[in-house]
Structure formats: structure tokens, C-alpha cells
Amino acid sequence: MDTRILEPYLDNVLEEAAFSDLPGHYRGKVRDNYDLPGGQRIIITSDRISAFDRNLTTIPLKGQVLTQIARFWFDTTADIVPNHVLAYPDPNVVIGEKLKILPVEVVVRDYMAGTTGTSIWPMYKSGKRDMYGITFPEGLQENLKLPQTIITPTTKAFDAGHDEPLSTKDIIEKGLLTQNQWQTVTDMALALFERGREIASERGLILVDTKYEFGFDHRGRIVLGDEIHTPDSSRYWFAETYQARLEAGQKPESFDKDFIRSWVIQRCDPYKDDIPEIPRDMRLKTAAVYIEAFERITGQKFALPDVKQPPKMRIHKAIKDYSSTIVPRPPPKKAGDGPMEVMLEKGKMYSFCTCGYSRKQPFCDGAHKEFAPDYKSYKFEAKEDGSAWLCCCKNTKDQPFCDGAHNTLNEKS
Ligand SMILES: Nc1ncnc2c1ncn2[C@@H]1O[C@H](COP(=O)(O)OP(=O)(O)OP(=O)(O)O)[C@@H](O)[C@H]1O
Ligand SMILES: [Mg+2]
């Protein structure tokens, strides 16, 4: 990609997305998050690049790239694992159902790789054979495929702490999860990874390893949260050069977005010193790498946003517009509760579903199909005065609006 096209974006980055009129702000390393009272979490991915537990600089369009890669993967895996996504009101924003995030980060690996303290290669190289409750055989080599796909869980360090390795035994004994919950999580993680490996391979890529975060939704169901298979949470290698480079004793080719890290290490102790200013051309090159990653992974062309529009303002407007359409979540319906009335925007199309999902919000996006296959959903237009009666009783399987007359017929609303 020609970095000259990207140059104007250098002065229009999303450094942060702090909005005083939104509730429950939490700033993560890369994302600004808000918790809305109705149980929705706004996740805004900024252009910050983080390493050595700090922010190094900003990379133009990185937030949009990451959000759009995650979106591609949420879409292509929703049929096998339910996820938190409710809406994408802006290219940098995902609205998720607010989950109770599990205290375990789930790392899945296919290769003997990595460089950080929790990676398996540095530990193996130093002679360790028992890691994460798994006994590794002798003779494994750096960057070679493991005998089988493995899960190397770590603690989820809330509030910027460090991740520590865990084994299945630790997870159960420390009471982090029950045996059944951990089984569900591992089944889901392996299914996601398998799908990721297949799709990546169709695109000439090897999905080497990745990290997932799961959480409980409002019904206590375990679903996928956070991000999925982005270049920040995953390692990808290029399949076509893998073998030749290995034989030549070289590192596998990847989306090389780590040259900023190397540049920093050569100039200072990144854990102690001030970080020198990162040159503009390095930030541009990194932006191009992220965009190439998006295009390679998804097979889609990256949509450059309007460079004249400041992203922070654009995002704020998109979130405000989105928030104004949220219908407060009604209290969970019990048998005999009857229908509920909602006010809708006249003339707009809505869909309503008789599944339990639409008790959380009256409108169902169909994402629940995998756990409520026999329910019906309806598309309808709001009535003249904007009012509508929605009901989860059996009668509404035949008519989307309930007049309440069935309450005596059908106790189990
Ligand atoms: N659906 C969700 N409900 C609640 N929390 C979520 C959801 N999805 C992601 N999160 C959390 O939102 C945060 C996203 O921000 P970001 O990734 O920048 O933070 P982080 O620096 O990784 O977080 P932390 O410092 O807490 O580890 C993470 O803490 C993640 O666990
Ligand atoms: Mg994170």
C-alpha cells in the first residue's frame, strides 16, 4: 500500500475517546469502554499502540482496522459460538452485551512460538517441560507445529496487572471456574480456533496463536466477548514462505508491526525511560501493515474514512444516535406477565422475536438462532402513533402484536 494516501490521517488519529456525557468509563490499554445502564457495553477501539505495559504512540486507522477485523471474525464464527455483539454503530465501535468477564484468559496455540514471559518457547528453551499442566515431549523446536493444538490459560489481570500461567487444575482448585464451565470454555475456544485456522488458511495465512476472553451474559450463558483473531490478540504467519524460511533458519514472515518495538528497545529501557518520539514514517508504515492485515485476512478492501472528519466527533455522534434508539430493557417476563408496550419510531422497520432474547431488548437481531431454533421472528413497521404491543406468549407466534386478550387463555406468557 502506498503510504502517501495515508499521510493525511497522521494528523487525524483517535488518541482517546473520553466522553463526559457517557456513563461508566473504563480506559483499557487500547480501548475506551462505557457501560450503559441497560446492560450494554460500548467498546471504542482507539489508535493507541501499547507495548511494555505503556502507550508508545498512535497508528492512524488502527482502531478501525482492529474493529473491522474482529467484526469479520465475529460474523464468521457466530454460527458456532455465541458472542457479545449487539451493534456496530461506527467503524471504530462495537456495542456488546455487558458480560461478567471470566477471570481466565484463554490462549490457544498451534506452534512452539512466542517471546514474552507467558509464551511457551522461551520456557521450553530454558529447559521447562511442564507448563500449563501439560507435559511437553523432548525435541520440539522453535516455530514448528506442536503435536496438537493446546490451551495455555492465564489469569485475567483486571486493572493492568500481569497475566500468570494457569493449569486446568489451578482453575478448578482456585475456584476460578467449575469443571463444567471450563469444559464449555475449552470446547468453544477450540471450535473458534479451528474455524480461524480454516479461514486463515484459505487466505494463505497460518493462525499461530490467539487469546480469547469469555464472559457470562445476563442469562448466565457463557459467550465470547472482547475481540477475536485481531493482529493485536493473535499471531499470523504467511503460509507460502513458512517452510522455506524455516529451512533457511529465518523467522516466519508475519504482518510485521513490531518494528516500532524494536526501534524503542534499541534506544531506551522501555520499562523505565521516557519513550522517544516515534518518527512519522514509522507510524505510517505501521498503519499500512495494519490495513494490509485487514485486507489479507478478510479478503475485503479497506474503506478509508473521510479524512476531514475528526474521528472522535464522528464516534460521539454515532454513539449518541445509537443510544437514543435503545429501548430500556424490560424486567424479565414471568409466566402470566402479559405483553409489554414499547414506543417506536413511526415508519421504521423493526423485528420482534418470540425467543427469550427479545426479553432483553424487544428487538431481536437473529443472532440467537443457534440456541432457539424453533422460535419465529417477525418484521413489521411501527404503527402511526408509534406504539406497539409485543408479547412473548404463544399467540404472538401467529401474530406479532398481542392485544392481551390471550392472558386468560394462555397463562404462560
Ligand atoms: N462484553 C464485555 N463486557 C464487559 N467487559 C468487556 C466486554 N468485552 C470486553 N471487555 C473488557 O473491556 C476491556 C477492553 O479494553 P482493552 O482491551 O483496551 O483493555 P485491556 O487493557 O486489555 O484491559 P485490562 O487492562 O482490563 O486487561 C477489557 O478489560 C475487556 O476484558
Ligand atoms: Mg484487551
What distances in angstroms separate CA 216 from CA 82, 98, 219, 225, one per listed residue?
A: 11, 9, 7, 9
Say yes or no: CB of residue 84 within 6 Å of ligand 1.
yes
Q: How far is the CA of 183 from the centre of ligand 2 (A)?
A: 23
- Domains along the sequence of the chain with CATH: 3-99+239-323 (3.30.200.20), 103-212 (3.30.470.20), 340-409 (no CATH)
The three cell numbers of residue 329 are 430493557
- Is 101 touching ligand 1 by the criterion CB < 6 Å? yes
Max distance between CA atoms of the chain, in angstroms, equals 78
Q: How far is the CA of 43 from the centre of ligand 1 (A)?
A: 8
The pairing of strands 234-238 and 48-51 is unpaired
- Per this entry, what is the length of the chain? 413
pLDDT at 326: 75
Predicted local distance difference test score (pLDDT) of residue 38:
80
**Ligand 1 contacts CB of residue 33 (under 6 A):** yes
- In this prediction, residue 278 carries a pLDDT of 96
Closest ligand to C-alpha of residue 162 is 1
Burial bucket for residue 278 (CB in 10 Å: 0-12, 13-18, 19+): middle
Task: Name the one residue in this structure whose C-alpha cell is 483473531.
Answer: 229
Rounded distance between C-alpha atoms, residue 133 and residue 380, angstroms:
54
| Residue identifier of the C-alpha nearest atom 13 of ligand 1 | 28
Nearest ligand 1 atom, CA 99: 3
Separation of 259 CA from ligand 1 center, angstroms?
26
Residue segments in the chain with a per-residue pLDDT below the cut of 50: 331-341, 356-374, 394-413
The pTM of the full predicted model, rounded to 2 decimals, is: 0.81
Q: Give pLDDT, residue 284.
A: 96
Q: To 5 degrees, how large is the angle CA 160–CA 70–CA 209?
A: 70
